[in-house]
């Protein structure tokens, strides 16, 4: 595979950089909000994403018949990395998880209703997979969908639903056949989140970001808001999770925080000795720089494999998500250790080492290893699908 970008791709990066320079706004771009916190949760962020839509940069990889440009996935990758590198909102669930799944599996009613809105950023989605007893193991979900005339009635609870407090639509999985095997009998639905019978309660994470628990009590969903085939929802969820594991855990924030730590080490003197001359610190920085390059190349490998067409490469998505988020956590640990007691001061404290970034990322990075499937789940996927190991090894 070729790790270099073409002249056309490099020119696209320059175009994006110029656009971001022209739209710089601290209420849109905040480097202290990382990965799963880079969401479209304010009016200004929403207006900014609408501007991206007007540039034709939302849905670039979609087929032309649905308003896309049929560009290679690398352009989406480059756009997302540029956004993440400035702490901006990501192209997100609508373009990736929902849009691409609807293009592949949705009925014509859903395509007509949602795809144009996604391209214009006129709709926000929440994704409901996790439940109190089914966190990273989405196949264990038990939220019940009962067939009635003209549709389905949903009852149960979801948890860890980021975006439910500002989204308009709920992309939710429910068990439609309780007698089917674990990975079957699940169906995906699209539900208005302000519908009667849906209640949303806040859960605040250790990263100071809001997620939610969602209760569904006799919520009716018409048949034309069923996504794809009944009882095949888990297969669609698995495809979408491969996209989420890659697009929501970008490399740029890791590179940016690593550079921040290197600058701190380069300029800091402790007890009369420059940190850059401490052999223990030098060794730790060298290890992190090496691992960061590995993560960058693993991301490019996913893009390369995705360009071959078909479903997103599952094993490569899990490899990248596992390595990148665990590296991000190791980087946060190193920043706290090297900066010493001052690193415990809260983020944006002016006289704190690295202005408190170490403290905030220390809290954020733990969440990143869980979202999109915990590290243990990624290891299981790699073991089964890449290494061919049996389920009970």
Question: How far apart are the C-alpha atoms of 181 and 193, rounded to whole Å?
Answer: 29
* Residue extent(s) of CATH 1.20.140.10 domains in the chain: 251-386
Which of residues 72 and 230 earns the better pLDDT score? 230
What's the topology of domain 251-386?
Butyryl-CoA Dehydrogenase, subunit A; domain 3 (1.20.140)
* Residue extent(s) of CATH 2.40.110.10 domains in the chain: 126-230
Domain 126-230 sits in CATH at 2.40.110.10
**266-299 residue pLDDT tens:** 999 998 999 999 999 999 999 999 999 999 999 8
**7-61 residue pLDDT tens:** 999 999 999 999 999 999 999 999 888 776 778 889 999 999 999 999 999 999 9
Residue 261 half-sphere exposure toward CB, CA atoms < 13 A: 29
**245-258 residue pLDDT tens:** 556 678 999 999 99
End-to-end CA distance of the chain: 32
pLDDT mean over 157-161: 94
State pTM to two decimals: 0.88
**303-328 residue pLDDT tens:** 887 777 666 678 888 899 999 999 99
Question: How far apart are the C-alpha atoms of 225 and 127, rounded to whole Å?
Answer: 15
Q: Is 58 exposed, middle or buried (0-12, 13-18, 19+ CB in 10 A)?
A: buried
* Residue extent(s) of CATH 1.10.540.10 domains in the chain: 7-123
Structure tokens at 245: 């594991």
Q: Please state at what angle helix 279-306 crosses helix 252-267, rounded to 10 degrees.
A: 160
Give the position of tokens 């089917």: 180
7-123 is a CATH 3.30.565.10 domain: no
**376-391 residue pLDDT tens:** 988 998 998 888 998 7
């Amino acid at each position: 595979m070729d790790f270099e970008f073409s002249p056309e791709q490099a020119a696209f990066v320059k175009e994006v950089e110029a656009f971001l320079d022209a739209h710089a706004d601290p209420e849109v771009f905040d480097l202290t909000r990382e990965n799963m916190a880079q969401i479209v949760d304010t009016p200004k962020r929403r207006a900014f994403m609408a501007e991206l839509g007007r540039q034709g940069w939302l849905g670039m990889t979609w087929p032309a018949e649905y308003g896309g440009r049929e560009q290679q996935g690398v352009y989406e990758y480059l756009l997302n990395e540029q956004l993440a590198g400035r702490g901006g909102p990501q192209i997100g669930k609508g373009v990736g998880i929902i849009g691409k799944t609807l293009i592949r599996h949705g009925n014509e009613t859903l395509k007509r209703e949602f795809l144009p809105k996604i391209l214009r950023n006129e709709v926000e989605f929440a994704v409901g997979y996790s439940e109190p007893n089914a966190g990273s193991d989405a196949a264990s979900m038990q939220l019940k969908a009962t067939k009635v005339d003209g549709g389905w009635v949903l009852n149960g609870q979801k948890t860890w639903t980021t975006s439910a407090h500002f989204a308009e639509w709920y992309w939710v999985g429910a068990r439609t056949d309780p007698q089917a095997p674990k990975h079957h009998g699940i169906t995906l639905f699209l539900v208005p989140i302000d519908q009667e019978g849906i209640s949303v309660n806040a859960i605040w994470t250790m990263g100071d970001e809001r997620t939610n628990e969602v209760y569904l009590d006799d919520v009716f969903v018409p048949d034309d808001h069923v996504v794809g085939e009944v009882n095949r929802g888990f297969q669609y969820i698995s495809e979408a999770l491969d996209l989420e594991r890659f697009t929501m855990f970008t490399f740029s924030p890791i590179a940016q925080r690593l550079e921040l730590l290197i600058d701190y080490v380069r300029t800091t003197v402790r007890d009369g000795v420059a940190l850059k001359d401490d052999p223990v610190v030098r060794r730790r920085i060298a290890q992190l720089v090496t691992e960061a390059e590995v993560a960058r190349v693993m991301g490019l490998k996913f893009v390369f494999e995705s360009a071959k067409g078909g479903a997103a490469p599952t094993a490569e998505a899990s490899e990248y998500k596992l390595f990148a988020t665990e590296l991000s956590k190791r980087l946060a640990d190193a920043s706290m250790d090297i900066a010493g007691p001052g690193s415990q001061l809260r983020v944006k404290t002016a006289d704190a080492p690295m202005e408190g970034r170490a403290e905030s990322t220390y809290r954020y990075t733990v969440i990143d290893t869980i979202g999109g499937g915990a590290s243990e789940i990624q290891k299981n996927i790699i073991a089964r699908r890449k290494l061919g190991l049996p389920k009970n090894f």
